[in-house]
Structure 1
Amino acid sequence: MPPPTIRPARADEYDEIARVWMESWVSTGLEGPSDLLLARLRARVPMEVEKGWSLYVADDAGKVAAMLALHLPNCYLDQLFVAPQYQGNSVGRQLLTFTRQHLPDEIWLRCVRENDKAWRWYEREGFVFEREQVEPITGLMMKYYRWRKSA
């Protein structure tokens, strides 16, 4: 089976992207699914695109397998979420390779400290831990990471 194709997201997919985002987030065990969470993510997607997200999907024959949100001017990987049924199939690594093509020199990101599956994966992928800081809006402790191209 060929890997999903990474392409820019379309506005008519924003609801599906929010659903994938929620399902992936819920798969961490840090929060349960809810209509409120889904509504919050559905509202956030177009707002973040308006504020500068470059939003991509991993498209598996018309099905959204994952979402990737980059803020290119800031070298920031804002969101990378893979639908649970695609986790463990290198879709995340495919998205990270795509990110490195668009941000070839440096990438920074943050993830929730309790999401050890995510931050351990980023560390294996060459990201270096820089600091922890509480996110004032959510109250969650965030781990900040940076990747730089080797000289």
Structure 2
Amino acid sequence: MSASFILRPYAASDEDAAIALWRQTWQQAYPSIDFAARVAWWRERWNKDLVPNASIVVAERAGALIGFVTIDAKGYLDQLVVGPEHWGSDLGTALVDEAKRLSPDGITLLVNTDNARAISFYRRNGFVDAGGDVNPTSGKPVLKMEWKP
């Protein structure tokens, strides 16, 4: 792990920063979609589905949240969010390594098929393609990927 950030468990006080980072990151990845309009939906999903059912590890630097990962008890990685200014750094790999530590028997995830940057990142971090699917929210095609120790 880089000395430029620390990883720690999510705290309720991180909610606003995590949601803002989610919005900023997805807006950068998909500029044609209005993610500001999705914040209320995301906040509800965050509090209803992720916070109670997943381990969430955040990355912070100088007191600011710069990334997070969510992994549930079944090894499903729902979210890996890295602030755009940290894309290409070791932050994403550190968060994936933390997810692997928390789910040592394996991890599955879904990634949008048009997100070549993310697919390449996961492949570099030991994930393999495990079939296709459709995102139930957007209806867009996704790639199922998995990591096995």
- Asked if these proteins are the same fold (TM beyond 0.5), I'd say yes
Percent identity between matched residues is 26
SS of residue matched to 2:111: strand
Question: Could you tell me which amino acid in structure 2 is paired with residue 139 of structure 1?
Answer: G
SS of residue matched to 2:29: coil
Q: Which residue of 2 aligns with 1:113?
A: 113
Q: Partners of 2:35 and 2:110 in 1: how far apart?
A: 24
Q: Which residue of 2 aligns with 1:100?
A: 100
Contact kept, 8 Å, 1:132 with 1:143, in 2: the verdict is yes
Q: Partners of 2:40 and 2:32 in 1: how far apart?
A: 15
Asked if 1:126 corresponds to 2:126, the answer is yes
Q: Which residue of 2 aligns with 1:18?
A: 19
Q: Which residue of 2 aligns with 1:147?
A: 147
TM-score of the pair, normalised by structure 1:
0.88
The Cα of 1:33 is off from its aligned counterpart by 4.3
Specify every segment of 5 or more residues in structure 2 that has no aligned partner in the other structure, as ranges: none
Structure 1 118/14 Cα, relative in aligned 2: closer, same or farther at 3 Å?
same
Q: Partners of 1:49 and 1:124 in 2: how far apart?
A: 26
Structure 1 29/126 Cα, relative in aligned 2: closer, same or farther at 3 Å?
same
Contact kept, 8 Å, 1:132 with 1:142, in 2: the verdict is yes
Q: Which residue of 1 aligns with 2:77?
A: 77
SS of residue matched to 1:74: coil
Q: Segments of 4+ in structure 1 off by > 3 A?
A: 30-34
Contact kept, 8 Å, 1:133 with 1:142, in 2: the verdict is yes
Alpha carbon RMSD of aligned pairs, Å? 1.7
Question: Could you tell me which amino acid in structure 1 is paired with residue 54 of structure 2?
Answer: W
TM-score of the pair, normalised by structure 2:
0.90
The Cα of 1:38 is off from its aligned counterpart by 2.3
